[in-house]
Structure 1
Amino acid sequence: MSKKKYGFTMISVLLALALVAVGCTPKQESGSSEGSVFRMNLATEPPSLDPAQVQDQVSATVVNGLFEGLTRKNEKGEVEPAVAKEWKISDDGKTYTFTIRDDAKWSNGDPVTAGDFEYAWKRALDPNLKPAASAYAYQLYYIKNAEAYNTAADGVTADDVGVKAVDDHTLQVELNSPTPYFLGLMSFTVFYPVHKSVKENEQWATDVSTLVSNGPFKMSEWKKNNSITIAKNDNYYAKDDIKLSKVVFSEVNDSNTELSMYQTGELDYAGMPTGLIPNEQFPTLKQNNPDEFKIQGSASIYYYLFNTTQKPYDNEKIRQALSMAISRQDIVDNVTKGEQKPAYGIVPPGIKGEKEDYRTEHPDNYFKEDVEEAKKLLAEGLKEEGLTAMPTVKVTYNTNELHQAVAEAIAEMWSKNLGIKTEVSKQEWGVFLDNRNHLNYDVARGGWGADYDDPMTFIDLFSSKSGNNNTGFANKEYDALIKEAYSTDDQAKRMEAMSKAESLVVGTRAIMPIYYYSTVYMIKPGFKGIFIDYKGDIDYNRGYYEAK
């Protein structure tokens, strides 16, 4: 999922010292009957809170508190029962029968039924879904006839899709092939149920009064472009496990302001996955707040996308030249400064492989940085395009200080190493996503984090069927390798097919890998049960505040 943001802005030493000196006592309600409040920053307005439309981490951070799927994942990344209290898997691994718990309810008190899941999944697959087709519909293609329905092929209808509510408490799902990570997928946003009331209201997810949800929290207040408050859902089946009375999300897109809000007690959490901490402050924060300042690796990648339908970026040699002419180590050492790792592949460390970490089993040595070779490739590519010089490279990114700093560093490297001029520009998050989705760019910033613990969550991103493939890249060999990996539960064969696919897309440089993320954040003492998972997402649902 598109993700990861934190800021990079130079501020004075005086301001830095002042921020560090401010008191850090959180303003809590832990002694009241309401429970405690957890406050964090989203940095921007979520583009959508409709599970079928979510395609970014800002939206998912809110939606993951409002909704719940058949399964959920604990701090170790292990699958646990959620709305489904149990399930059975057929001997051939292709049929799943989920039993919906009797006490599952919507925030308005209506029962959550198997039919709500069937409707939600088929709704996400509907090619005529409004206001837009689901970018994540392809994640449902594991289900029998799901792809055919979504692509309006051969007269297949929603009735033919292999998901059926046998009764209110029994959901049966037929897959095309055994899928080892299918239960993990059940905790992902596009698989969440939606309430039957959405049928009559396309704008249901934009208004507090019509947003009915089934998760630990429900919508309480939404001040557009300012803040969102979600409150404990007393109709949630496990309400006794939910200790927070509210989660309040600010929308402040400035790293210095966010840090100041944290230091003055207006926020309980600052930094990634959705917020901003000035990275020049890392050493001071680490020294002065060792119990609060944290850095951990996450299974996610930061990269640039090339619009392969746009000249001259449709030329493979030009894309290769641009990718080979930068120093990733310099970027992570001098710009990001958060213990990130240079990336030369798509799949980051921390994703399961056949027996251990996939990245260990398949090292990301798909290419090397080489300025002289880049110059040669650029000259050859320009000649093939009938150009005597490279046009100004236009790089776009969503408003964020770190993205700007990375873009400016890369622009300087391209200028120094290739003699290329670069124009960098920022766009508001929703506008940026829309332009990227519609290939309205030359080179654009991208980021992706795992949706489930398998390399496929990164590999099928660039298939021709992926609604999140914003590069224009389409390759029959690549699609065939993905199909091969889909069609078998032999882990060795799956991993080999995905490694070949990764080599192909990185080799052609449809994208330019830059670095593998780390998650940098601060959290106030006393908060328990709130964690950053293996993929860098925050889980606050079972969080609580414990005063010392």
Structure 2
Amino acid sequence: MKNTIKKLFCTALCLILTITIFAGCSSNNNKIDFIYPFSGDIKSFDPQIAKTADEFLLVENCFEGLVRVNDNGKVQAGVAKTWEISNGGKTYTFHLRQGAKWNVKSTSQSSDNKELTKVQELMGESFNPDITANDFVFALQRACEKNTDAPLFSSISNIVNASKIHSGKLSSNKLGVKALDDYTLEINLKSADDGFLNVLATAVAMPCNKEYFNATKGRYGLGLDYTIFNGQFYVSNILEASYILKNNKQYVGDFKSAVTDITLKITDNTEDAAKNLKSGYYDAAYITGQEYDKLKDSDITAISYTDATLAMVLNKNNTIFSNDKLRQAVCLSISDIDTKKYDYLSRATSFTPPSCKIGTDEANKAIGTTVYKQNISKAQQLWKEELNELGASQASFNVIATEEYKDTVKELVQGIQAGVGSISAYGNDDEHKISFSLKVNILSESDYQNALSKGDYDIALYKFTATNQSPLDFLSTIINGNYIGTVPAAISALKKAQNATAAELAVNTKKCETAILADYSIKPVLFESSYYAQASGVKNVQFHPGSGRVSFVNATREEK
């Protein structure tokens, strides 16, 4: 009898273990996880102040706005199920889906072991997680307030009274946005804008719950305890080397994702993204043109976009470069190099790269050509005239660049050597002699950055990268950085452009860029393309070139 019971027990135990093992296998087979490298440059989860490519990436996957934009640029339903455009293209009416909710994740327990969410700790257990039209009203009002300092404000400046609110002339409750009821939102523009729906899919227009925002007492977006999400994913954990995103089961929109987990792996410049893509360790990645060259013969798929401008930056601390006309002479000497041998380089026609947009157009095309061409004869004339005024006897330039641009920078300085460098004497009868020397130093990335921070250079080949699609944000970074010093004309032009209507944006952006280039501290020379790449078998990772918006919502992978 005992042996019989023992046999039955063993049989039952084996059956339980078998079921458990297969259940575990089934659970594991249902897991669809992706690994994507990023730099971890995240200061906040607050969409209205998102600025870096990494912050935009998180917003794209963890928040949903009124609408979405697919790979083909088609506007699709988001929190809004339908919408109408009236009043000559100036009034937008959105009808929100009922049942859309904020993701409220349990993070702590009360003293009596009753589980509470962090939201309930902040606001009480009666918090209503429903997303309503008021969440979009408050979000857009916040984005227009000057103290919010929203990087993408210029993209919504066409909303009625937005510019006046931003300048402090009106309070935010005067913005041309209102909730007609809990699920109907109206937005009024100053002028018709065909690209406005696309703007509403970006970070600046993501919803924000006013009561929750106020309850965080200035800590909104500063960590997971002070953030709520409403997209297909939410940030579940922040580790030392990665951010972990999980599928949001509370999402009720039209675009639910089959992806269960996303690991955003924090990397540094030492990792070989191309190698990790080729091996399949990375499912997708952002790579440079040089890295893409290594993958051309592989089955990696990639799309290119041009989000960077290479420019020669002149250090005004050099005695020669303290003179405006001598800076101009050097800038006019810089070679216009042949880019045919580079798949990822093209001649810069403007400072602002093509990934920035004005309406639906590439910014460089909308504003037209602003970059002046090489002019050796004018450069030599200016050089001789101003040297006579300055009385200089020596011109010595230390040019720095990183290893990846060593061939490019050597081509660019050939014009300087052939132009101003060929002048050995000046004055009425060439009675004054001047010695000229130019040395190119190729530095490691760390040494290059160190030299820049110390000002230990005369000319630097520098890569200016747009982190979003706003041309004004790109130009603001230049003006407010340490690249050109104080240029009143550029500052004034930027202010006017920031308060311009959508129709005036191209003209004012061009004026701002022209003012920067007229200082001759920076000479844009090349546009550089980068690539968003997918590993073999990976499909439908959605890339929004130039904005940092990478979506895994529709991503799939063929298992080998």
User: Could you tell me the TM-score, scaled by structure 2's length?
Assistant: 0.69
* Alignment-mate amino acid for residue 347 of structure 2: P
| Higher normalized contact order (CA 8 Å, seq sep 6+, divided by chain length) | 1
* Cα deviation 1:385-443 (Å, max 9, x = unaligned): 89877797898x9xx975x7699759966985654678989689x999x99xxxxx999
Equivalence map 1:22-37=2 (5 Å): 32=28, 34-37=30-33
Q: Does 1:216 align with 2:232?
A: yes
In structure 2, the partner of 1:298 is: 305
Most deviating of 314-323 and 64-73: 314-323
Q: Is the 8 A contact 2:542 2:554 kept in 1?
A: no
In structure 2, the partner of 1:46 is: 42
Most deviating of 537-546 and 404-413: 404-413
Q: CA deviation at 1:192?
A: 1.4
In structure 2, the partner of 1:91 is: 87
Equivalence map 1:33-182=2 (5 Å): 34-108=30-104, 110-129=129-148, 133-153=149-169, 156-182=170-196
Q: Is the 8 A contact 1:87 1:99 kept in 2?
A: yes
Q: Say which one has the larger Rg.
A: 2
Q: Is the 8 A contact 1:73 1:187 kept in 2?
A: yes
Q: CA deviation at 1:39?
A: 1.0
Q: Distance in 2 between matches of 1:513 and 1:285?
A: 29
Most deviating of 516-525 and 504-513: 504-513
Q: CA deviation at 1:241?
A: 3.0
* Cα deviation 1:291-320 (Å, max 9, x = unaligned): 2153x4425332449699999878654554
In structure 2, the partner of 1:189 is: 203
Q: Does 1:448 align with 2:462?
A: no
In structure 2, the partner of 1:341 is: 346
Q: Is the 8 A contact 1:39 1:248 kept in 2?
A: yes
- Please give the secondary structure, in 2, of the residue aligned with 1:88: strand
Q: Distance in 2 between matches of 1:431 and 1:62?
A: 30
In structure 1, the partner of 2:265 is: 250
Q: Distance in 1 between matches of 2:556 and 2:253?
A: 15
In structure 1, the partner of 2:121 is: none
Q: CA deviation at 1:181?
A: 1.5
* Cα deviation 1:454-473 (Å, max 9, x = unaligned): xxx43685489999998655
* Cα deviation 1:118-146 (Å, max 9, x = unaligned): 212222233334xxx33333333212222
Equivalence map 1:246-285=2 (5 Å): 246-254=261-269, 256-272=271-287, 279=290, 282-285=292-295
Q: Check 1:392–1:208 CA distance in 2 against 1; reply closer, same or farther (3 A cut).
A: farther
Q: CA deviation at 1:170?
A: 1.8
Q: Is the 8 A contact 2:39 2:267 kept in 1?
A: yes
Q: Check 1:81–1:508 CA distance in 2 against 1; reply closer, same or farther (3 A cut).
A: farther
Q: Check 1:521–1:88 CA distance in 2 against 1; reply closer, same or farther (3 A cut).
A: closer
Q: Is the 8 A contact 2:309 2:351 kept in 1?
A: no
Q: Does 1:524 align with 2:538?
A: no
* Alignment-mate amino acid for residue 348 of structure 2: A
- Please give the secondary structure, in 1, of the residue aligned with 2:373: coil
Q: Is the 8 A contact 1:484 1:497 kept in 2?
A: no
Q: Distance in 2 between matches of 1:381 and 1:58?
A: 46
Q: CA deviation at 1:186?
A: 0.8
Q: Distance in 2 between matches of 1:385 and 1:146?
A: 49
- Please give the secondary structure, in 2, of the residue aligned with 1:128: helix
Q: Say which of 253, 256, 259 aligns to 1:238.
A: 253
Q: Say which of 540, 544, 554 aligns to 1:542.
A: 554
* Cα deviation 1:483-520 (Å, max 9, x = unaligned): 998365xxxx9877876776665565575323323233
C-alpha RMSD of matched pairs (Å) = 4.8
Q: Is the 8 A contact 1:79 1:183 kept in 2?
A: yes
Q: Check 1:387–1:44 CA distance in 2 against 1; reply closer, same or farther (3 A cut).
A: farther
Q: Check 1:213–1:470 CA distance in 2 against 1; reply closer, same or farther (3 A cut).
A: farther
* Alignment-mate amino acid for residue 136 of structure 1: L
Q: Distance in 2 between matches of 1:442 and 1:125?
A: 37
Equivalence map 1:467-482=2 (5 Å): 474-475=489-490, 478=493
Q: Distance in 2 between matches of 1:135 and 1:484?
A: 14
Unaligned runs of 5+ in 2: 1-24, 105-127, 422-436
* Alignment-mate amino acid for residue 66 of structure 1: C
* Cα deviation 1:151-207 (Å, max 9, x = unaligned): 223xx2122222222322122222222223211111121121224423224333232
In structure 2, the partner of 1:367 is: 372
Q: Is the 8 A contact 2:371 2:524 kept in 1?
A: no
Q: Is the 8 A contact 2:40 2:266 kept in 1?
A: yes
Q: CA deviation at 1:149?
A: 2.0
Q: CA deviation at 1:325?
A: 3.9
* Alignment-mate amino acid for residue 232 of structure 1: N
Q: Is the 8 A contact 1:366 1:507 kept in 2?
A: no
Q: Is the 8 A contact 1:49 1:206 kept in 2?
A: yes
Q: Is the 8 A contact 1:392 1:421 kept in 2?
A: yes
Q: Distance in 2 between matches of 1:262 and 1:354?
A: 34
Q: CA deviation at 1:285?
A: 2.7
Q: Distance in 2 between matches of 1:309 and 1:104?
A: 55
Q: CA deviation at 1:218?
A: 0.4
Q: Distance in 1 between matches of 2:85 and 2:35?
A: 40
**Identical counterparts, % of pairs:** 22
Q: CA deviation at 1:543?
A: 1.1
Most deviating of 191-200 and 63-72: 191-200
Q: Check 1:43–1:94 CA distance in 2 against 1; reply closer, same or farther (3 A cut).
A: same
Q: Is the 8 A contact 2:238 2:244 kept in 1?
A: yes
Q: Is the 8 A contact 1:134 1:467 kept in 2?
A: no
Equivalence map 1:301-312=2 (5 Å): 301-304=308-311
Q: Distance in 1 between matches of 2:374 and 2:26?
A: 53
Q: Does 1:286 align with 2:296?
A: yes
Q: Check 1:352–1:42 CA distance in 2 against 1; reply closer, same or farther (3 A cut).
A: closer
Q: Check 1:98–1:45 CA distance in 2 against 1; reply closer, same or farther (3 A cut).
A: same
Q: Check 1:368–1:415 CA distance in 2 against 1; reply closer, same or farther (3 A cut).
A: closer
User: How many residue pairs end up in the alignment?
Assistant: 486
* Alignment-mate amino acid for residue 130 of structure 2: P
